[in-house]
Amino acid sequence: MRAMPAPIEPLRWEGAVPGTLWILDQRKLPHERVELRVEDVPTCCEAIRTLAVRGAPAIGIAAAFGVVLGAQRGRDLVPAVEAAARDLAASRPTAKNLFWALERMKKVASERGATAQRLLDEARAIHEEDRQMCRAMGRHGAAYIADGANVLTHCNAGGLATGAYGTALGCIYAAVESGKSVHVYADETRPLLQGARLTAFELKESGVPVTLLADNMAGFAMQRRKIDLVVVGADRICRNGDFANKIGTYSVAVLAREHGIPFYVAAPGSTFDLELASGSQIPIEERSPDEVGSHAGKRVAPHGVGAWNPAFDVTPARYVTAIFTERGVIEAPSEAKVLAHFGAR
Ligand code: MRU
C-alpha cells in the first residue's frame, strides 16, 4: 500500500449561513494558486461559465453552494432559490451533474420549514457524497489497471474536477495506492489545455509519473504500443451508454478500438441521464471561437478567420469497454445493463 498526499479540492465553504464559497481558480493553474471569493449567484455563474471551477461533478457542487448564496441573501427562500437555480442552470449546458444538484437543492427548498441552513446542509452532503463516490469508483476501476500499466487520459477528470480525488484519475490513484506502478499519458486537451495545465499538475503533485502528449499524438502513441488502456471521465451518460466528454474523447475512443486497446469511462451516478435514449440528445456547449483562434491569450490564426468550438463530443457506447461507477462496473454498456445497474428496470 502506498500513501498519497491529501487530495486537492477545487472549492470549500467557509462559515455557516451567511457564509462564503471559495473556489480554487483553475484558470490560473498551474502557475498560480489563487482562491476566488464567491458571495453571490452572478459571481458563482461567472466562475462556472469561465471555467474557474470546471469538471462535471465540481460544477454540480459549486452550483449547490451557489443556491445557498442566493438563499442566504433573499428575503423569501423559495423565490430566491428558484431564481438562483434558473441562473446557475444557464451557466453551462452539458454536464448532467449541474442539473442533478440543482434539482436536489430545489427539492429541499420546497420542503416545509426549509431554511438556508438546511440548504447548506444539503450542499455539504452533495460535496461529501461526491468525495465518497470517487473513492468507491476508484476502487472498482483500479481492478482494471495492471501493475506497470501505461494509461492514457483526456482532459482533467481528477480531484480538481470533482469533490476531491477524481473519477478517471481516482481509478489511477486507487491503483497506485494499492501498490501498483502506473504511468500516465495526458493529452494536452486543446483549446483550453486542461490536460497540460491541470492533469499534469495534479499527477505531479501526487507523485504519479506523467508524460504530456499533444492531442494529435495519441494515435501514434497507440501504434507504437505505448498505451495499455484509456480511462476518461464523462459529463453526461445516456441510458444506452453513449456519453459526452471533453472534445477529442471520441477520436481517442475510435483510435483505441482500431488498436485493440480497452477504453474505460469513470463517472458517478449523478452524471447519468436516464431520460436520454442516446447521445444525439445531449446538449453540447459551444464556446467562443476565440478559444480556438488563440493560444495562451495570443491570437494565432489570422484575424477574421472563424472557428467552430464545441466543448464536448459524444462517444457511442459501442466504443466503451466498461463504465466504472460508485456502484460497480458496467461492462460493454447497453440500455438494459445501464438501467439494471441503477435498479431502474
Ligand atoms: O470543460 P471542462 O473542463 O469542464 O470539461 C471537463 C471534462 O470534460 C471532464 O472530463 C468531465 O467533466 C469529467 S470530470 C470528472
* Residues with Cβ within 8 Å of residue 85, at least 6 apart in sequence: 63, 67, 70, 102, 105, 106
Distance 167 CA to ligand 1 centre (A): 10
5 falls in which pLDDT band (50, 70, 90)? confident
The minimum-distance atom of ligand 1 relative to the CA of 194 is 3
CB-CB contact of 171 with 142 (8 Å): yes
Give the whole-angstrom CA distance, residue 54 versus residue 328. 25
Q: What is the pLDDT of residues 235-281, one digit of tens each?
A: 999 999 999 999 999 999 999 999 999 999 999 999 999 999 999 99
Most ligand 1 atoms within 8 A of CB, residue of 135, 153, 245 to mutate: 245
Indicate whether residue 245 lines ligand 1 (CB < 6 A): yes
- Alpha-carbon distance 138 to 128, whole Å? 15
Residue 345 — pLDDT band, cuts 50, 70, 90? Answer: confident
User: By the 8 A CB rule, do 30 and 67 touch?
Assistant: no
CA–centroid distance, 316 to ligand 1, in Å, is 17
Mean pLDDT for 136-149 is 98
Burial of 85 (0-12, 13-18, 19+ CB in 10 A): buried
pLDDT band at 297 (very low <50, low <70, confident <90, very high): confident
pLDDT at 233: 98
Q: Tell me the pLDDT tens digit for each residue of 47-86.
A: 999 999 999 999 999 999 999 999 998 789 999 999 999 9
pTM: 0.98
Concerning whether 313 is annotated as a catalytic residue, the answer is no
Please choose from 8, 9, 26, 155 the residue to mutate so as to test ligand 1's pocket, defined by most ligand atoms within 8 A of CB. 155
Asked whether 229 and 183 are in contact (CB, 8 A), the reply is: no
Residues 274-288: b if buried by 16+ CB within 10 A, e if exposed: bebeebeebebbebe
Mean pLDDT score of the chain, rounded to an integer?
A: 97
**Banded model confidence at residue 166, pLDDT cuts 50, 70, 90:** very high
What is the 54 CA–ligand 1 centroid distance (Å)? 6
Task: Give the HSE-up count for residue 126: Cα atoms under 13 Å, Cβ half-sphere.
Answer: 32
Q: How far is the CA of 157 from the centre of ligand 1 (A)?
A: 6
The whole-number pLDDT of residue 7 equals: 80
The pLDDT assigned to 122 comes to 98
Residue to probe by mutation, ligand 1, list 235, 249, 291, most atoms within 8 Å of CB? 235
